[in-house]
Chains A and B, each alone.
Chain A
Amino acid sequence: IAGITQAPTSQILAAGRRMTLRCTQDMRHNAMYWYRQDLGLGLRLIHYSNTAGTTGKGEVPDGYSVSRANTDDFPLTLASAVPSQTSVYFCASSDSRGGVNNEQFFGPGTRLTVL
């Protein structure tokens, strides 16, 4: 593994179903993030984690939950999917060891369709 991996690559889901999007990074970054990307809106932060064991809400957290049991993994769960959660989901990570920029590194994304 090099960088950030996300699974699945894409998924079609029936409304009301539970779904977990997986994210794993091997860079030992402290901070991780989940974004959704929608046309005309750019990327919006769903949830974030400063470090293992802590999580926080972003701009659009409703309907989503996250956990951070260890440094490498940051799964995003949709407890009961709704069509408005159709989007492309990106996981990202950053670390202060990258320098003062602390730029975020992104995974390849998961395309989710809720019918």
Chain B
Amino acid sequence: AQKITQTQPGMFVQEKEAVTLDCTYDTSDQSYGLFWYKQPSSGEMIFLIYQGSYDEQNATEGRYSLNFQKARKSANLVISASQLGDSAMYFCAMREGRPLSGGYNKLIFGAGTRLAVHP
């Protein structure tokens, strides 16, 4: 079974509008972490935002926010006021269990969603 599911292979959004990228996850652990990464056409992976399973509030980082619905096991990324530079692949990832000593994190990635921002 897929641990991380991103059901939208591609998304389009108009510049300055908000867009939501979906991510659902599957785990039996009570403690876990959810990450979003951005991969522009240049290929590098850029960390965007993190949500811990015990965090009571949704994570926010500038124009990025994470709509965390624990009961539904979803962790959707919301990008407000889209910019042309937001066009990229976006990956949702999960760490099952607590962070291990030394910082080791075993991440499971989804297949990604390609976002295109139109002027």
Which residues of chain A have a CB within 8 Å of any CB of chain B? 29-31, 35, 40-45, 48, 50-51, 58, 88, 90, 92, 94-98, 100-106, 108-109
Contact = CB atoms under 8 A, between A and B. Distances in A.
5 tightest A-B CB contacts, nearest first:
A106-B45, A96-B103, A95-B103, A42-B109, A30-B102
Query: What band does the interface of chain B fall in when counting residues whose beta carbon is under 8 Å from A?
Result: 20 to 34
A42 B45 contact: no
B97 to A, nearest CB: 12
Contact of B103 (A35, A45, A97, A106): A97
A108 B102 contact: no
A31 B111 contact: no
Contact of A31 (B4, B105, B109, B112): B105
Given A42-B109, A45-B107, A106-B44, A101 B102 contact: no
A58 B44 CA distance: 21
A92 B111 CA distance: 18
27 contacts: A31-B102, A31-B104, A31-B105, A43-B91, A43-B107, A45-B108, A50-B102, A95-B102, A96-B102, A96-B103, A101-B33, A101-B35, A102-B103, A102-B104, A102-B105, A103-B47, A103-B50, A103-B105, A104-B35, A104-B105, A104-B107, A105-B47, A106-B37, A106-B45, A108-B43, A108-B44, A109-B44
